């Protein structure tokens, strides 16, 4: 079966510190992978998506970056966090039928 995991689940970081959120997918090969952010009380904003290893598309200019070093691994990073980076980050992979399957989410609080 297809599964997706992301970690850490919860993270509290000071302003200016680095960030690394990791997402891995199992049970599928060459999936489309996505990072979304959900700010408090708001909808989902697509940050990055990837259709293959090393292929990253950025949807909005921001303080974050993404990488896909392996087929089923997707990493969200920042060199220096801002207060506005706080939010709930969701990784997802695309299924053949077109829908997305989401991970459990990572809650980031920047202080």
Partner 1 sequence: GNSVTQMEGPVTLSEEAFLTINCTYTATGYPSLFWYVQYPGEGLQLLLKATKADDKGSNKGFEATYRKETTSFHLEKGSVQVSDSAVYFCALRGQGYNKLIFGAGTRLAVHP
Binder of partner 1 out of 13, 22, 28, 44 (CB under 8 A)? 44
Q: Does 101 bind partner 1 (CB under 8 A)?
A: yes
| 79 touches partner 1 (CB under 8 A) | no
Among 13, 28, 32, 73, binds partner 1 (CB under 8 A): 32
Q: In what order do the strands lie in the sheet with 73-78?
A: 3-7, 19-26, 73-78, 65-70
Does 7 bind partner 1 (CB under 8 A)? Our answer is: no
Cis peptide before 8 (omega within 30 of 0): yes
Report in angstroms how near the CB of residue 32 gets to partner 1 at its nearest: 5
What distance in Å separates the CA atoms of residue 1 and residue 35, rounded to the nearest whole number? 21
Minimum CB separation from partner 1 for residue 90, in Å?
6
Cβ of residue 87: shortest distance to partner 1, in angstroms? 13
d(CA 53, CA 99): 21
Q: Pull the structure tokens for residue 94.
A: 């695309």
Asked if 97 touches partner 1 (CB under 8 A), the answer is yes
């Amino acid at each position: 079966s297809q599964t997706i995991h992301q970690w850490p689940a919860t993270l509290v970081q000071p302003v200016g510190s680095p960030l690394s959120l990791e997402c891995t997918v199992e049970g599928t090969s060459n999936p489309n992978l996505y990072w979304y952010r959900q700010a408090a009380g708001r909808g989902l904003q697509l940050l990055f998506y990837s259709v293959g290893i090393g292929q990253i598309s950025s949807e909005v200019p921001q303080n974050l970056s993404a990488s896909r070093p392996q087929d089923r691994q997707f990493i969200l990073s920042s060199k220096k966090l801002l207060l506005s980076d706080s939010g709930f980050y969701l990784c997802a992979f695309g299924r053949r039928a077109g829908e997305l399957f989401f991970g459990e989410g990572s809650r980031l609080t920047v202080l």
